[in-house]
Amino acid sequence: MPHSKKNIARIIVLTGCVLLGTYFLAKPVIANSLTKKTVIAKPTKALTHLEKQRELYQQAQDLLDLKKIAQYIDLRPQISDYALTPYVDYRAFLIDIGERAPQEVDNFTLLHKDFPFSSSIKAAYLTGLAKNKRWKTLSEYQKEPPNDQRFRCYYYTAKWETNYKTQAYKGAQSLWLTAGSVSSACDDLFDHWAKAGHRTDDMIIDRMVLMSKARRSGLFSYLDKMLVSDAAKEQSKNLQALFKKPQDVLSFSQSNPVTKFNQSLTDIAFKQWIRQDTKSAVENFDAVMKAQKLPQSTQTYLANYATSWLVNTDSDKLAAWRDAQIKQGGSVAMIERRARLAVQHNDWQGVSYWVGLLPQKMQSTTRWQYWLGRVEFAQGKDKQAKQRLTKILGQRDFYSVAAANLLGEPIRYQSQILTGKQVDISSKKVALARIEEMIAVDKIDAAKREWRWLLWHSTQSQKMALVEYASHKHWHNFTIVATIEAKMWSYTSLRFPITHRWWFEHFAKQNNVPLITLMSLSRQESALDVNARSPVGARGLMQIMPTTAQHVVDIHDLKYNNADDLYNVDKNIEIGSYYLSDLLKDYDNNRIFAFAAYNAGPNRVKQWRQRTGGKVDAYSFIEAIPFKETRGYVQNILMFETYYRNLLAQDGAFLTPSELKGKY
C-alpha cells in the first residue's frame, strides 16, 4: 500500500504528543528510578501487554528510520494506547512537512499544545517550506520576522520572491550587519541585495567594525576583497592594522581627523590595548580621549573597563587612578567589586566608604549588612554592630548564618513541610503517565523535557502538588527542579532529598570525607541528577570531568572503563569522593579551599591565597573570591551542609575550629 500524507495524517490525528524521535532509538530497557543503572528486559516468559507495546513501539521507530512508511502505517494501530506513541506520530508528521498546508500544521500544533515539541513544529515547517521553495506559503504563514537567524533568512527571501523587495532589502541589511558568519540560507538574499546596489562600501566597513569590536577577524580578508573605493580600502587597512597592534591607537588618534569612523576605531583599539597592557593604556587615557574627542559616555565606559583590569594592581598610582574613576562614574558592579577588594585587604574604613556608594537597596542586603556590622565591630562600635547583625538572623542565607556565628547565636531558619491534601492534578495524569514510561524505558532526557514543560504550564498550587508527586515517586532531581520552579525555598526536606545514601556513606567512610559534605557537594553540582552533563562535559552526580576521572583512577588504581561510567551512581561517587578527599588532604581539611578548588581548580585557589597572603579570616577570603560562580558555590555548599545536618540530625559546626583559625 503506497503511503501518502493523508494516510500519515489520519494515523497521527488519533493521538497527540511530540518529541524528537532520536531520543527513542535504543532498545527497551527498564530503568531504576532516574539512574543509569538499567536491567535489560529478558523474555523469559510470555510478554505482558506493556512489554509488547514497547517492542512494537521500537519497531515503529525502526520502520521510520528506514523510511518504510507503509509498514509503519500498518503497525500504528497496534500501539494506539501506548503512552509514547505520539512521539512516532510526530516523526511521521515531519515526513514531507514542507508539502503540508498551513492549516494542517496549525491543527496539529493546536492538538499537541500540551507537549514540549509544539514549540518546534513551526521551525520544521519553515525549513520544509524553504526547502521546497514555497515562498508564498512561507510569507503568508510567518507573519513577523523570526528571532532565529536562519529563519529570518527564509523570511526575507520569501519577501523578495513574493515581490516585497523593499522589506527584503531592509531585512538583508539587518542580517548583513553582524559580527559573525551568516547562515548560508541568506546566500540568495544577499546576492539579490548586492545586485540591487545595496552592499555598498559603507556596509562592508560597518560589518568589519562590528567584527573588530567582537574581536573576530576571520572574515576580514573576504570582506576586504569586496571593497571598491580607495577610501574604503584605506579604512579597512587602518582597521586591520589597529586590530593587530592596538597599542598604535595613540598615534592613530592623533594623526587622523576626528570622524565617526575614526572614533569607532579608537574606541575598539583602546579597549584591546587595555586588555594587552593596562598600565600603558591608562597612562595614555587622557591623550587618546582628547585626540579623537570621544563622547563622554564612551570615555566613562572605557574608564570603567580599565578599572576592572586594575582591581588587584600593585601600583599605588594605578590604584589611585582606578579609585578616582570609580568615584567619578563607576558602575554599581564596579563599586561592589571595589568594596569586596576592601574586604580582601581588611580595610574596614574602605568597606564602609564603598558600600556607602552603592544603591540603598544593595546596601540593605544581608551581604553588605553583615560587612557593615564587621566594620562597626572593628571600629569598637559593638552595640551598633550587634543591633545591625541581629536584624539579619533567622534567614536561609549565608550571611545570616555568618552573623549568627559572629554573635554566638544558634543557626535558625524557617523550614516548612507540605501538609494537608494538595490540589487535584488529575488533569496532568496523561503527562505523568508518559513521564513515568519514559523513565521506565530509560529515556531520561525526554522525561526531563516533559517534566519542565509540565511545570511551566501549571499553576502554583499544581506545581506544589507535582513536587509532592515527584517526591513520592522518588524522582529526586525532578522534585528539586519542581521546588525551584515553585519557589518553595523553605521546604528544605523536599529541596534536599536524602538519596543514594548507601553509596555516599560507603565512600564517605572509605575516604574519610563527611557524609553530608559529599551529599551537599553533589546537590550543588547536579541537583542530584545522575544523568547530568554540563556544557563542558562534566558528568553525573558530582559533575566529574573525564580527564579528572582518569587522573583520579590512575592515582588510586580504581576500576574504570570510560567516561560513560560516570553516569553510574556508585562509580561517580567513588571517583568524586576520592578527588574531594585528595583536595581536603592538600588543604589540611579546609573545606573552603577544597570546594573552591573543586569548582575553579587548584591553580586559581593558589592565586587567590597569594593575594590575601594569610592576612584575612575565612569569611573575608570567601568574599574576596573574584569569581561570582565560585563564591556562590562555596557559600551554597556550606549552607547545604547546614540543611543536611538538620535533616539527618547530625551535630557539626558551620565552620570548624581549624577553618576559623586558619590563615587565608
> What confidence tens digit (pLDDT) does each residue in 435-480 have?
999 999 999 999 999 999 999 999 999 999 999 999 999 999 999 9
477 CB-side CA count, 13 A: 23
Q: How confident is the model at residue 35 (pLDDT cuts 50, 70, 90)?
A: low
What is the residue type of 562? N
Tell me how far apart the terminal alpha carbons of the chain are, to the nearest angstrom. 77
Q: How confident is the model at residue 419 (pLDDT cuts 50, 70, 90)?
A: confident
Query: Taking residues 193-219, what's their average pLDDT?
Result: 97
Return the DSSP state at 114: T
CB 514 within 8 A of CB 440: no
Please state, in angstroms and rounded to a whole number, the distance separating the CA atoms of residues 479 and 484.
Answer: 9
Please state, in angstroms and rounded to a whole number, the distance separating the CA atoms of residues 80 and 69.
Answer: 16
Question: Among residues 525, 574, 623, 659, which one is catalytic?
Answer: 525
Q: What is the pLDDT of residue 572?
A: 99
Query: Taking residues 234-239, what's their average pLDDT?
Result: 98
Phi, psi of 428 (to 5 degrees): -100, 5
User: Which grid coordinates are listed for 408?
Assistant: 554566638
Return the DSSP state at 99: G
What is the residue type of 528? L
3-state secondary structure of 409: coil
Q: Give yes or no for residue 140 having a pLDDT over 60.
A: yes
Q: How many CB atoms lie within 10 A of CB 145?
A: 15
Q: Tell me the per-residue pLDDT of 582-626, one tens digit each, with 9 for 90 and over.
A: 999 999 999 999 999 999 999 999 999 999 999 999 999 999 999
Q: What percent of the chain has pLDDT over 90?
A: 92
Please state, in angstroms and rounded to a whole number, the distance separating the CA atoms of residues 276 and 292.
Answer: 21
Q: What is the pLDDT of residue 265?
A: 98
Q: Tell me the per-residue pLDDT of 532-554, one tens digit each, with 9 for 90 and over.
A: 999 999 999 999 999 999 999 99
For the structural domain made of 501-661, what CATH number should be given?
1.10.530.10
In the CATH scheme, what architecture does the domain 426-489 have? Orthogonal Bundle (1.10)
What is the residue type of 298? T
Rounded to whole angstroms, what are the CA distances from 487 to 453, 480, 484? Answer: 16, 10, 5
Residue 394: burial class (beta carbons within 10 Å; 0-12, 13-18, 19+): middle
- 525 catalytic, yes or no? yes
Q: Give yes or no for residue 36 having a pLDDT over 90.
A: no
CB 322 within 8 A of CB 310: yes
Find, among 110, 87, 81, the residue nearest to 447 by Cα.
87
Query: Taking residues 404-412, what's their average pLDDT?
Result: 97
User: Is domain 331-406 classified as CATH 1.10.540?
Assistant: no
Phi, psi of 587 (to 5 degrees): -110, 25
Find, among 141, 108, 125, 136, the residue nearest to 9 by Cα.
108
One DSSP character per residue, 263-327 reads HHHHHHHHHHHHHH-HHHHHHTHHHHHHHHT--HHHHHHHHHHHHHT-TT---HHHHHHHHHHHH
Give exposure, 479-499, as e/b (b: 16+ Cβ within 10 Å).
Answer: bbbbbebbebeebbebbbbeb
Q: Give yes or no for residue 2 having a pLDDT over 50.
A: no
Q: Give yes or no for residue 412 having a pLDDT over 90.
A: yes
3-state secondary structure of 31: strand
Find, among 473, 426, 533, the residue nearest to 31 by Cα.
473
Q: What is the pLDDT of residue 24?
A: 30
Find, among 77, 79, 23, the residue nearest to 54 by Cα.
79
CB 236 within 8 A of CB 205: yes
- Biggest alpha carbon distance in the chain? 91
Q: Give yes or no for residue 125 having a pLDDT over 70.
A: yes
Taking all residues of the chain, what is their mean pLDDT, rounded to a whole number? 93
Query: Taking residues 252-262, what's their average pLDDT?
Result: 97
How far is C-alpha 407 from the chain's CA centre?
Answer: 37
Q: Tell me the per-residue pLDDT of 318-351, one tens digit each, with 9 for 90 and over.
A: 999 999 999 998 999 999 999 999 999 999 999 9
Q: Give yes or no for residue 111 having a pLDDT over 90.
A: yes
- The residue behind cell 579623537 is 292
What is the residue type of 44? T
3-state secondary structure of 601: coil
Task: Give the residue extent of every domain in the chain.
Answer: 331-406, 426-489, 501-661
